[in-house]
Every structure is written in structure tokens, then in C-alpha cells.
Amino acid sequence: MRMHTGEKPFGCKLCSKRFTRPSCLNLHMKTHTGDKPWKCQICKNSYRFSSNLTRHMKTHTKEKFSCKLCGQEFRHYSQLSLHRREHTGRQPYKCALCDKICNNTSQLQTHMTQHTGEKLTCATCDKKFTNKYALNSHLKTHTGDNKLNCSFCDHIFTCSGDLKRHTRIHSGEKPFDCELCSKTFSQSSTLNAHMKVHSGDKPWRCQICNKSYTRSGSLTIHMKTHTGEKFSCKLCGQEFRNFYQLSVHKRNHGKKPI
């Protein structure tokens, strides 16, 4: 009934979030403690609950997730979760774990990976992605479809939107303005990240040292300082110890030939 009434009697004592079920509250509490006791013995990924590890193991065994109501099978648990809403009649794009509402199936699928740790894998090279759009864009690098060349440098893109954003690096165009200060940006995502400077919002927290970041990409870069993983140039394969060195190196690829 709480799904219909909106009642959320289970409150987190560490923040203001509330939940409809104690199981959801228990899952949320792990975000504060960082506790992930369930470890995969194959790839060493860790999970907060044994059920998450069980779902993860199917990525190694290739076992599919089956709907108990109609028998339809899915490659990923997030796909099964979305499908089950067709039987229950629940809001189609609402996360069952944190009540976040998304605009479409792809957004909800991407959001669900924050809870499950699932990623979509390229069947050709095993590279992993958090959403179908990123995977489909990557697949074109194998098929050679829709290759778009930058007029100023050697960069090649499979999506016209990516080429347009990249071209602004050369043209200096910055069409996105901050309404709170005079700064301008070449990409809307950069503006959105900048706005968090004003709001102080840093939702992406490192579970090892508790540093917080305004963007998930910044946290991903930071995590490599703990793992020792190097930063690799996608154009030539050269590796660097830190992201700044890679950024400086990439400018060499972006230089227009004399």
C-alpha cells in the first residue's frame, strides 16, 4: 500500500532520506559505511549484499535472469527489473531502491547500475559501458559506421553531437553561460558540474578516503590514485601516471599539422 500512498516510515539517521521498506533503508545505510563484504572470487568486485553478488556471478556464467511471472529472459538484472514493472503496473521509470524518477528506460537502466554495479559489455572487445547509448556509439568503432573526421585534428567520431562538442575546443565557442557568475562553458555537462560549485553539492564520494566530487568522472579519475591504474591515451596507447600528464599529451594529437 505504501507504493500507492507514498508513505515512507523508515528514515536514515545519518541523512534526510526516507524509504518505504526496511530493506531499502538497509541498502542505503551501506552508502554511508562503505561496507562491501561479498567479494567475487573471479574478478574481485565487491558488493553490499549477497544477492548482488549472486546477480553479478551470472555475468561470468552467462546465465540469464528469468521473469517468474512470464518466463521471459534477460541478460541483465536491470532489464528484468524494468520488465517486471509491466506486470505490477508501477511507475515505469522510477527506481525501486531510491525512488529516483528518470525520463526514459535508458536513463533508469543507467541509474540502476549505481546500485547493482552492472555494466553493458561489448561482445567484440569486452569493454564495459553504463548505458546502451555509450555501448552503441562504441560499437561503431568496430563496424566503421558513420565515421566523422574533425577538420582541425586527427580525431574521429561516430556521433555528430560528439564531433560538434569537440570542435568547440578548436573554435573556442562557449555557448553555455552560468547565471550566477560570468563564466562560460563549451559543454552543458561542464556547466552543470560548475553549478555545483555554487550549490556545494558533491554527491560522488570515494569509499576509501571519503573525498567527494561534483562529477562521477572526477571520482573515476581519483580512484586510479588508489588502484595504481595508469591513464591510457585512446589514440596511441601511451600510458601516464596521472590524468594531467595525459591531458597535456592529448594536445599533441589535437595540433593541426603545419
3-state secondary structure 43-77: CCCEECCHHHHHHHHHHHHCCCEECCCCCCEECCH
Q: What is the pTM of this model?
A: 0.33
Percent of the chain residues topping a pLDDT of 90: 0
Give the N- to C-terminal CA distance of the chain in Å, as an integer. Answer: 69
CA separation, residue 182 to residues 176, 179, 195 (Å)? 11, 7, 12
Question: Is 1-30's fold the same as 146-201's?
Answer: yes
Instruction: Enumerate the domain spans of the chain.
Output: 1-30, 146-201
- CATH for the 1-30 domain, from 1.10.287, 1.20.1070, 3.80.10, 3.30.160: 3.30.160
126-174 confidence digits (pLDDT tens)? 787 766 677 777 777 777 666 778 888 888 776 777 788 888 888 888 8
pLDDT computed for residue 258 by the predictor:
40
Domain 146-201: CATH superfamily is: Classic Zinc Finger (3.30.160.60)
How confident is the model at residue 225, as a pLDDT? 82
